[in-house]
Amino acid sequence: MEDSEKRMQYLFHRYLDDQLSMEEFEEFCELAGNGPEELREALANLWEGTANASPLLTAAEWNAVMPSLIANEAPGRKRSSRLFSWRAAAAAVVITGLGLLYLSVRKDATNEQLTSRQQIPEDIKPGGNKAILTLADGTTINLDSAGTGNIARQGNTQILKSDSNSLSYQATQGNTATAYNTLTTPPGGQYTLTLSDGSRVWLNAGSSIRFPATFNGQEREVELTGEAYFEVAKDAAHIFRVSVNGTQVEVLGTSFNIMAYNNEAAIKTTLLEGSIRVEYNGTPLQLKPGQQAQVNKQKGIKLIENTDIQEAIAWKNHLFWFNNADIPSVMREIARWYNIDIIITGDISWHFTGSIPREATISEVFGILQEAGKIHIVTRDRKIIVSP
């Protein structure tokens, strides 16, 4: 076996043993090759090699899962070659691929091992498309049970539900009095909204957005709590502004993510495309693609260069994505998506790097975390207790 192949096999096994450093991970991605076919072959050989005499995947299983690994795309996701180099894309494919493969081929082994280990919580299903729409007069519409088609009208604007997770506002000619609506997702819910100007908003679990049914005047302004990803329709004559917990984000047309949950230490605004201006307490920051503004009430506002964009928008692409994340951060994200209470006891110094599909059940998620051997998990009265 050539030295490079031996080295890649060594790094792969270090990944499986949760021993791989970020520097070694980047080296692994480079060794895997410069294109999808090389990466496919490298991963196939490595996975087969870990099974000794018995391959971990059958040919049919491998052929079924590999297209999604190589594409590294969830339905509806847009690829942007301007944002990511192949090296970053390869890293994303490898991490995501290993997470998906882990779930598909290690589930039985993990369940057997856990029978003699800590108690895994009952199988709670992941979140889904759930939201409540509140109209200007206070009327509420449960979008889970509402049929598709025209579900309401606000002035000259029709409100349409096109499928199970998408709401759109379509304005006709003429201005009317501004009517504010609010879209709210519960813990374990998500939804997509198209505003009257054509801007699109993806709303994460436990979030809400307040917006006018029709934009009037020189500014387009919305208010956010929780987390959302925005693709703002370009309109140089009308600034788009997001207000969130004392922070103002101004854009003309761009793509960005805002994470502003009350139980997080900072408001994080991450720019993917275009240009935005983030202001807090009179201090403005101008962001370029790949940068992040962090707002902390005690420390003020600061700029983060070369942020992990993939981590910021992973939730929109149906993934948990953790890059050296501390366990409290990991548990907060899991708790929001599965609508469960998680209590952390003791000092857990371990940090987790990797991705897990958000379609996984809670037992699969905690099975992956416990397999790393760094935490203990028990269930009491539907509360999950995590300890060192």
Between CA 106 and CA 19 the distance in angstroms is: 18
Give the chain's largest Cα–Cα span: 73
222 pLDDT above the threshold of 60: yes
Q: Any idea which residue has 């366990």 for tokens? A: 327
Confidence of residue 115 (pLDDT cuts 50, 70, 90): very low
Query: φ and ψ at 259, to 5 degrees?
Result: -115, 115
Q: Which of 187-196, 345-354, 375-384 has the highest mean pLDDT?
A: 187-196
**C-alpha dist (Å) from residue 121 to 19, 27, 34, 45, 303:** 26, 36, 41, 34, 39
Task: Give the alpha-carbon dihedral of 337, 340, 346, 347, to 10 degrees.
Answer: 10
Q: Any idea which residue has 């993934």 for tokens? A: 319
Q: What is the pLDDT of residues 315-338, one digit of tens each?
A: 999 999 998 899 999 999 999 999
Between CA 245 and CA 383 the distance in angstroms is: 30
Q: Any idea which residue has 């998680």 for tokens? A: 342
Q: Any idea which residue has 């998990």 for tokens? A: 377
Confidence of residue 82 (pLDDT cuts 50, 70, 90): very low
DSSP string, 331-379: HHHHHHHHT-EEEE-S----EEEEEEETTS-HHHHHHHHHHTTS-EEEE
- Give the residue among 357, 311, 351 at the shortest CA–CA distance from 328: 351
Phi-psi region of 368 (alpha: psi -120 to 50; beta: other; left: phi over 0): alpha
**Cβ(184)–Cβ(134) under 8 Å?**
yes
Report pLDDT for 187.
Answer: 95
Q: Is the dihedral of CA 227, 167, 190, 360 positive or negative?
A: negative
Confidence of residue 377 (pLDDT cuts 50, 70, 90): confident
**Cβ(261)–Cβ(208) under 8 Å?**
no
Helix or strand holding residue 179 (H, E): none
- Give the residue among 186, 189, 235, 228 at the shortest CA–CA distance from 211: 228
Between CA 307 and CA 261 the distance in angstroms is: 19
Q: What is the pLDDT of residues 31-80, one digit of tens each?
A: 665 444 555 565 556 555 544 433 444 444 444 444 444 444 333 333 33
**Cβ(250)–Cβ(269) under 8 Å?**
no
Coil vs helix vs strand at 159: strand
**Cβ(179)–Cβ(161) under 8 Å?**
no
pTM higher than 0.75, yes or no?
A: no
Report pLDDT for 297.
Answer: 85
Between CA 356 and CA 364 the distance in angstroms is: 9
